[in-house]
Amino acid sequence: MQHIKGRKAVVSGGGSGIGRAIVGRLSAAGAHIAVADLHLPPGLPASTHPFMCNVASAADIDALFSGVQEKVGTPDILICSAGRGIHEKLTEGDPEKWREIIDTNLLGALRMIRAFVPGMLAAGAGDVVLISSVSAGQAYPYGGIYAATKSALEVVAETLRQEVLPIVRVTVVAPGVTDTPFFKNTISGFHTAEDIGYGAIAADDVAEAVLYALSKPPGVSVNHITLRPTAQPF
């Protein structure tokens, strides 16, 4: 982890689930971390600086950028983990809820990229990690809006990789069913990790994959990692 110690990171969605696990791993590796989330739990590592932030809000991103510059400095790691789920039929669902998912899962990541990646380019190095999903490119009933945001996010990731190479590395981590509060916090829907029936990986498994990519030497890029319960068919 010598490539992480002393580095400065911003983690959106860092208050719970996969984002929280990533924060823990980064802290243990010696990074200084800005944690951005709508809900900030007690017990965050001492090496973190918490920021209340809704990534769907341009004003919140502006405030986050200013706060990170003041408290942490220009980050060289950006982790976009903030996201919400939705489970609605396209012919019956609520377009205003769809907009909320798109604003969070896709535009939120784009806003974070636009805010923080220019500083990495100016500094001459950086890493961007986008938390996607195995649902990217995988159509399934009632999952159209969520899967569409993750499919678009992966197109954004590859576009960004081509635009910023060789200065900034870009990694997509796409988990399958993961045991986190994600299902409880879906904007609509009723699934749990248990009733999907494939088993579940732990948030820390995903965080470990993120750290694997970040810990590679500067000349090595890990651009896409997929991990899922062994029984999950897609």
**Which of 5, 71, 150, 198 is an active site residue?**
150
Active site residue 146: yes
The CATH number for 8-227, chosen from 3.30.470.10, 3.30.420.40, 3.40.50.720, 3.40.50.300, is 3.40.50.720
d(Cα 157, Cα 151) in Å, to the nearest integer? 10
pLDDT tens, 18-38? Answer: 999 999 999 999 999 999 999
Spans of all domains in the chain: 8-227
Active site residue 212: no
Residue 132 sits at the vertex; the CA angle it makes with 69 and 203, to the nearest 5 degrees, is: 85
**170: buried, middle or exposed (CB in 10 Å: 19+, 13-18, 0-12)?**
buried
Q: Which residue has the higher pLDDT, 118 or 140?
A: 118
Residue 233 sits at the vertex; the CA angle it makes with 232 and 234, to the nearest 5 degrees, is: 100
To the question of pTM greater than 0.75 for the whole model, the response is yes
Cβ(112)–Cβ(61) under 8 Å? yes
pLDDT tens, 74-111? Answer: 999 999 999 999 999 999 999 999 999 999 999 999 99
Does residue 1 register a pLDDT over 70? Answer: no
Mean pLDDT rounded to a whole number for the chain:
95
Does residue 218 register a pLDDT over 70? Answer: yes
End-to-end CA distance of the chain: 31
**Which of 71, 89, 146, 184 is an active site residue?**
146
Question: 231 is written with which tokens?
Answer: 């029984």
Measured over the CA atoms of residue 180, residue 205, residue 131 and residue 174, the dihedral's sign is negative
pLDDT number for residue 182 = 86
Q: How far is Cα of residue 85 from the mean position of the Cα atoms in its chain?
A: 13
d(Cα 229, Cα 181) in Å, to the nearest integer? 17
